[in-house]
């Protein structure tokens, strides 16, 4: 632990998609900014384990922060993804009904959406719904069609936002745990397990731990409940079963079990919604996954359990306030909360980031744009998506493209190396996985894992035994040093 105090204008705590996009928006301005996260990488919390839906916004209460930022964020998402080289698809979504009670709920959602100014909403009957989605069960009687909804890769959006921020000069301090926040005359002293930091403004984007960070700063006015959602992910061979995001009517627990094709082409079903045992509980359970599967069959009976390649769980930070918590603390001047960002948090993230950057700039007396900054990152086409001629040219330019590391996803050695060498690059097996899809295919890393470990070891200049799967302590190999 260092005793040297690092001084910043702004410290952002939490490198999830909201914290990452806020850091990016602030990085366009002439200010010293630090992004702090306790994890080994960005996208290690809720941003790395959700459905990736860009919601239409019809279900949020008109006038709420959820409604406001969902509408704005969804309208911004396509352009944001384009700038950051992140795949996005405007698929639209359907909420389906199975009878008169469900139809009344769809009517309510439609009226709610219209009252909130949502465009592209239409109520259609079951026959029309099956024309759009032939795999829907014949028992579907009605559907709410939202034409503005879409899908995105949540972790790629998160990672690219952080990379863009780093390119613009933001310090990304990973594996850095905030242990204390003290208000001082000219700002804050933020203590961490890696040494002290100071800042004029602190922005709390700590996800499920945002209530604890706020209390640490002296304003514990809200509490967050970890609500867990479990998912089943199918092989890409099943991805054509549906082309839109298909919801069943929502309940008091959330939007319910959905059926969708991810932006990468996998069929995804889930989540359920249960209170987690702890804020670190990302376990999956056979009974919960069976519930997800059986519920999804009501939407589409053709879903095949034998095509499941993995299951996972994500935690949502459900606030006791009933809405997003966005704004400067009334008790601690200069401390800014961005908390309780559950669904539709991903959809809202671009708009939240722009809003927070503007407000924090005003808190600091105005920020000037830098003479030189970028809103884009140096993206590239993946080898698997190239034509034969393009692949031949890529191999001539870099022979590493001639060595396939991941056969399921056609990821090359050159791509794995680049994912590590990029700004805010991969440091773990899962970090490589999220950036390249190596290990995301049918065998889930069964063949490529040893090679990925070899490359990480060589690029990071550490022993193979030191390479982690995901976060601190997740060692894969045991050797003489352990």
Domain regions of the chain by residue span: 1-88+151-223+320-377, 89-150+226-316, 383-466
Q: Which residue in the block uniquely carries the two structure tokens 């959820």?
A: 66
- pLDDT computed for residue 253 by the predictor: 61
Enter the pTM of the model.
0.96
For domain 383-466, which architecture applies? Answer: Orthogonal Bundle (1.10)
* 39 part of the active site: no
Exposed, middle or buried by CB within 10 Å (0-12, 13-18, 19+), for 384? middle
Catalytic residue, chosen from 39, 55, 355, 401, is 55
Q: In sequence order, what E strands does 37-109 have?
A: 53-54, 88-89, 93-97
In contact, 140 and 175? CB cutoff 8 Å:
no
At the topology level, CATH places domain 89-150+226-316 in D-Amino Acid Oxidase; Chain A, domain 2 (3.30.9)
pLDDT at position 31 is 98
CA distances from 285 to 227, 228, 232, 266, 273 (A): 15, 11, 11, 21, 13
Q: How far apart are CA 164 and CA 325, in angstroms?
A: 26
CATH T-level fold of 1-88+151-223+320-377? FAD/NAD(P)-binding domain (3.50.50)
Q: Which parts of the chain sit beneath pLDDT 70?
A: 1-3, 253-254, 480-482
The whole-number pLDDT of residue 2 equals 55
- The phi-psi region of residue 117 (left if phi > 0; otherwise alpha if psi is between -120 and 50; otherwise beta) is left
């Amino acid at each position: 632990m260092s005793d040297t105090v690092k001084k910043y204008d702004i410290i952002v705590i939490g490198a999830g998609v909201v914290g990452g996009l806020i850091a990016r928006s602030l990085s366009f301005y002439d200010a010293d900014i630090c992004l702090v996260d306790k994890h080994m990488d960005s996208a290690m919390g809720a941003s790395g384990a959700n459905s990736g839906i860009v919601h239409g916004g019809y279900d949020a209460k008109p006038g709420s922060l959820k409604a406001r930022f969902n509408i704005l964020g969804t309208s911004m998402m396509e352009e944001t993804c384009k700038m950051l080289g992140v795949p996005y698809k405007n698929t639209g979504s359907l909420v389906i009904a199975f009878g008169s009670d469900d139809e009344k709920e769809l009517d309510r959602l439609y009226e709610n959406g219209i009252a909130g100014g949502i465009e592209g909403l239409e109520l259609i009957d079951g026959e029309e719904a099956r024309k759009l989605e032939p795999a829907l069960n014949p028992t579907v009687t009605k559907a709410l069609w939202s034409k503005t909804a879409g899908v995105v890769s949540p972790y790629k959006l998160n990672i690219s936002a952080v990379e863009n921020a780093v390119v613009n000069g933001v310090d990304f301090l990973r594996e850095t745990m905030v242990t204390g926040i003290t208000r001082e005359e000219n700002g804050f002293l933020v203590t961490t397990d890696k040494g002290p930091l100071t800042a004029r403004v602190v922005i709390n984007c700590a996800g499920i731990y945002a209530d604890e960070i706020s209390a640490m700063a002296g304003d514990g006015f809200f509490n967050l409940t970890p609500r867990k959602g479990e998912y089943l992910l199918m092989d890409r061979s099943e991805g054509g079963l549906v082309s839109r995001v298909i919801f069943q009517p929502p309940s008091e627990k959330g939007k319910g079990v959905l059926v969708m094709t991810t932006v990468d082409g996998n069929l995804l079903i889930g989540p359920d919604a249960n209170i987690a045992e702890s804020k670190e509980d990302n376990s999956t359970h056979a009974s919960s996954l069976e519930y997800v599967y059986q519920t999804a069959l009501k939407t589409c009976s053709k879903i095949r359990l034998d095509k499941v390649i993995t299951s996972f769980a994500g935690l949502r930070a459900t606030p006791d306030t009933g809405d997003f918590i966005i704004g400067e603390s009334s008790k601690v001047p200069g401390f800014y909360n961005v908390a309780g960002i559950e669904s539709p948090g991903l959809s809202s993230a671009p708009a939240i980031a722009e809003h927070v950057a503007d407000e924090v700039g005003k808190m600091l007396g105005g920020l000037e744009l830098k003479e030189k900054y970028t809103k884009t990152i140096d993206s590239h086409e993946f080898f698997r998506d190239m034509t034969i001629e393009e692949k031949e040219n890529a191999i001539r330019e870099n022979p590493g493209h001639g060595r396939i590391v991941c056969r399921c996803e056609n990821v090359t050695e050159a791509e794995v190396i680049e994912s590590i060498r990029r700004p805010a690059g991969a440091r773990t097996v899962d970090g490589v996985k999220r950036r390249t899809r190596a290990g995301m295919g049918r065998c889930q890393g069964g063949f490529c894992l040893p090679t990925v470990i070899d490359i990480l070891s060589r690029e990071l200049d550490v022993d193979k035994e030191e390479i982690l799967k995901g976060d601190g302590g997740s060692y894969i190999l045991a050797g003489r040093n352990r």
